[in-house]
Amino acid sequence: MNTIFSILFAVLTQEGPAETTGYMILGYSVIFSVLGIYLLSIYIRNRNLNQDANTLMEIEEQEAEDE
């Protein structure tokens, strides 16, 4: 009987894990946001460089025609 009471006491008084869900959400929000921003930056830079390349090639063709 004493054993049962001691087990029950231990179960009822044991400390559970700390409540840290908010920090976990914050952590993963930062991780995925930074990754997302970096992916977006690669996409935008790629698009801008392609536009620059097209413009420069048009100028080059124009100059070749003028000559």
Judged by CB under 8 A, does residue 40 bind another protein?
A: no
Residue 46 in the binding site for another protein (CB under 8 A): yes
35 forms part of the interface with another protein (CB under 8 A) = yes
3-state DSSP assignment of residue 20:
coil
Q: What DSSP state is assigned to residue 3?
A: H
* E strands, the chain, in order: none
Q: Does 31 bind another protein (CB under 8 A)?
A: yes
Chain mean position to CA 23: 15
Does 21 participate in binding another protein (rule CB under 8 A)?
yes
Q: What count of Cα atoms within 13 Å lies in the side-chain half-sphere of residue 31? A: 6
Chain residues binding another protein by CB under 8 A are 16-21, 23-24, 26-28, 30-31, 34-35, 38-39, 42, 45-46, 49-50, 52-54, 56-57, 59-60, 63
